Structure 1
Amino acid sequence: MSGSHLRLIASRMLRSLWFRPALYAILALAVLATAPFVAHLLPDGLMKLIGLSGVYDLLDALANTLLAVAIFSLGIMASSLHAASASTSPRVRPLLVEDSTARAAISTFIGGFVFAVVGIVGLSTGYYSDASKVLLFFVTCALLLGLIVTLIRWIARLSRLGGVAEAVDLVEAATRQSLRELAGDPLLGGAPVSARPRDGVPVLPGKPGFVQAVDTESLGCLAEEMRTDLHLLARPGAFVGPGRPLLLTLRTLSEEEESRLRAAFLVGGQRTYEKDPRFGLTVLSEIALRALSPAVNDPGTAIGVIATSTALLSDWAAQAAAACPSVRHPRLHVERLPVEDLVEDAFRWIARDGAAMLEVQLWVQKGLGMLVAQDEARFGPAARRLAAEALDRAETSLTLPADREALRLVAWIAHPA
């Protein structure tokens, strides 16, 4: 596994729900274990000012309450995740789990519980001297202050946890980051493809799955070392397996060489947001489709998603136009991510399921029209085709002639300049 893949996995681990509570628990143990060795640094007068009998009672109260609070918080979070999956998309769950406020709250509660329990054990066994008990008192007071602040932030966070608007915001932020990376490096450091080799030798993955990341630095170095050009076929988000290779080479490779090339690809069972902007746009569309279902009937959410996707693609186009990507790996040939795919992921399925809703169709036409007005060369072909398709769907589904006429007045595709 390459270094970039290890960094990506480490980044996911740092954002996981269990990592910070485990870290806080370890820190609590470290503080309690080292307290006797640093307690002598405290002024002697503090032991006379502070009564030591209440330290045990304070820790006992914390131990009795914090575990219940932590379990209660986990229960609330589990309920919120279930509600978010039911009202938006199950693909939003990973982003909700990575919520920093929720992780900080649960971590503080669990870390405080471990601190209190181990502190009680240390006091009961005589591990702490009087000076150590004074230090323990100050650390406990600091912990109480942190718990109060965390509890207030957690209560404020509960008002938005699991809501549709928050889910849209989280997916938007993740998609914006991946689109920013795409704009700055559309070919992943490789050279543009002039023509795919007809006699190329495919390199298949070790298992079927979704490409989550590609280490193009390793691929570029391997191409130079093996003295062959590589044609990347599977960008992040692609599904690979038998008949769907990772890349093509210009010569037959040994098994060891193919294995080294496979190691540059991180393949998993699910798509992820980090390097796959199409996934983020697809999840936004899923949220809109759930809102347009007869059981929910919330066109306002779908309209908000259209506005969000339009803004994302608009910002990406502006960044891509201003970027000056360099070719770092001349022997690695990479195809550009088709603009048509991005536009379809953002608009097509909403236009299909919202065909009978005039308000949704108006916003589909507005969004596509804005993209064409911003960058005709980039968005024109895909946006015109989708706008015409959406107009045909709507005219078939809208039953009232006045609705069809209102849509045609706004549909720029029906009034070519």
Structure 2
Amino acid sequence: MAGKGKSILFLINRLRERLWFRPALFSVGSVIAIFAAGLVDGSGLGVWLPDIDRGTVETLLSILAASMLVIATFAVGSMVSAYTSATQSGTPRSFKLVLRDDISQLAHSTFVAAFIFSVIARVTLDEGYFEDSGYFTIFAEAMGMFALVVLVFVYWVDSIARLGLLGPVIDRAERATRLVLQQNRRQPYLGGIPVAGPLPEGLSVTSEIVGCVQEINVEDLHKWAQTHDARVRVLALPGSFLAPRAEMARVWFREPPPADVDLSSAAACFTVDNDRVFDQDPRFGFVVLSEIAMRALSPAVNDPGTAIKVLQTMVRLLDEWRQPIPPGYIETPWDRVEVPAVGVAKLFDDAFTGIGRDGAGMVEVGVDLQRSLAALADSHDRAMADAARYHSTLALARAEQALTVSRDVERVRKASGQ
């Protein structure tokens, strides 16, 4: 963690969602490589390097400059088409997951960097920046760049063909959700301690922004509490929507607090913005997966197989999340901050309510939903078992109302075990 408010990891994740970040980074690297090649001229290594005709270098750089701009433009068009397709077939909330696609960003960044490299190298060549040794070095770098472009292009074409498909979108949502669930297993209270006792009297830390909590920097909140000899209880977990002047946390002090205590520094440890993000919000992953399933179940799409795939994904994620935790696995380094655990019942509401409602009239979805919930009801975790049984009963009631054939109702009831 670093500084008040946003953590380094949070900022890195936001930069990964910006299409300009990697091309800019790669372009800076290509410029550094060009000027590093000029250092070879004065290093004495020239006696060991073969002679390269300047015309050969100019030809290679001209080819790179002419072709890379076209390929980079083509890459942008293909990426936008794939992103649009993924958003339309999945859910708008999955757009940032697709935007983070490492292969597409790597390809686009490589093509832009190769174009920048060839243009600047050609200019420095014409200005006499290189001597004989530098010609070979820049030629070797250009050949390496050319080989990299070919390899990345071939690999990227295979990836971009699948980028807009629904299956890879579900897989990306699963990976993102699994990462945050694994983090939640290690830090179920975001590095703080569990809530103990009723809510104490104290001062309210409120939000001046209307939006969703994206991240809580518990480490900085702990340091603020140490400085003021206070304790903090978080009331708004990541993913919570905040109305104007909503209470995000409650602080209380061992001694009467000074009249001018700075609560704005504590409020700055909460990152609030318009949209939810995956970073510390396990429920958001299940919201995205559920929305994908609900869109697949709509009459315009009528794709129950996708909903069943989503259900299987959810069961896999939830089963991994609630496995017994080894002793010493949970990290609670910041003991002045109390943080509530993620509510299993609310997570199940996010995951299964919409699928149970929209899939009530499809016997295959109803049967698979009941089997999925029955598997989760066998969990050793009492909260998960109770939530699974509740949603099983709710989904069965909906299926009994929506299905018109008695045998279909009987199949769903048999799968539920009720």
Fold agreement, TM-score > 0.5: yes
Inter-partner Cα distance in structure 2 for 1:60 and 1:324: 57
Correspondence for 1:161 among 160, 163, 167:
163
Inter-partner Cα distance in structure 2 for 1:392 and 1:70: 54
Q: Deviations over 1:355-392 (max 9, x none)?
A: 10011111111111111112251312211111111000
Q: Deviations over 1:87-109 (max 9, x none)?
A: 00111111111111111111111
Inter-partner Cα distance in structure 1 for 2:26 and 2:331: 43
Given that 1:5 and 1:266 are in contact with CA atoms closer than 8 Å, whether structure 2 keeps it comes out as no
Inter-partner Cα distance in structure 2 for 1:59 and 1:171: 41
| Per-residue deviation, 1:17 | 2.4
Matches within 5 A, 1:138-157: 138-157=140-159
Q: Deviations over 1:198-247 (max 9, x none)?
A: 64432111312111111112222322332333221011111123353111
Given that 2:208 and 2:244 are in contact with CA atoms closer than 8 Å, whether structure 1 keeps it comes out as no
Inter-partner Cα distance in structure 2 for 1:325 and 1:127: 58
- SS state at 1:203 partner: strand
Correspondence for 1:218 among 216, 220, 243:
220
Inter-partner Cα distance in structure 2 for 1:320 and 1:239: 30
Matches within 5 A, 1:12-161: 12-14=14-16, 16-40=18-42, 41-44=44-47, 46-48=49-51, 50-161=52-163
Write the letter of the residue equivalent to 1:374: S
Write the letter of the residue equivalent to 1:5: S
| Per-residue deviation, 1:319 | 5.1
Inter-partner Cα distance in structure 1 for 2:237 and 2:155: 40
- SS state at 2:382 partner: helix
Q: Deviations over 1:232-275 (max 9, x none)?
A: 10111111233531111236775652111111111111110111
Structure 1-normalised TM-score? 0.93
Write the letter of the residue equivalent to 2:405: L
Write the letter of the residue equivalent to 1:196: P
- SS state at 1:403 partner: helix
Inter-partner Cα distance in structure 2 for 1:194 and 1:176: 28
Inter-partner Cα distance in structure 1 for 2:365 and 2:84: 27
Given that 1:39 and 1:135 are in contact with CA atoms closer than 8 Å, whether structure 2 keeps it comes out as no
Matches within 5 A, 1:320-331: 320=325, 324-325=329-330, 327-331=332-336
Matches within 5 A, 1:279-290: 279-290=284-295
Residue in structure 1 matched with residue 370 of structure 2 by the alignment = 365
Write the letter of the residue equivalent to 2:47: D
- SS state at 2:238 partner: coil
- SS state at 1:157 partner: helix
Inter-partner Cα distance in structure 2 for 1:346 and 1:181: 19
Inter-partner Cα distance in structure 2 for 1:397 and 1:185: 42
- SS state at 1:17 partner: coil
Write the letter of the residue equivalent to 1:44: V
Q: Percent identity?
A: 34
| Per-residue deviation, 1:333 | 2.2
Inter-partner Cα distance in structure 2 for 1:255 and 1:209: 27
Matches within 5 A, 1:263-342: 263-318=268-323, 320=325, 324-325=329-330, 327-342=332-347
Inter-partner Cα distance in structure 2 for 1:382 and 1:31: 58
Structure 2-normalised TM-score? 0.93
| 1:347 pairs with 2:349 | no
| Per-residue deviation, 1:299 | 0.4
Root-mean-square deviation (CA, aligned residues, Å) is 2.1
Change (3 A) 1:188 1:53: closer
Give 5+ residue unaligned stretches, structure 2. Answer: none
Correspondence for 2:395 among 383, 390, 404:
390
Given that 2:17 and 2:96 are in contact with CA atoms closer than 8 Å, whether structure 1 keeps it comes out as no
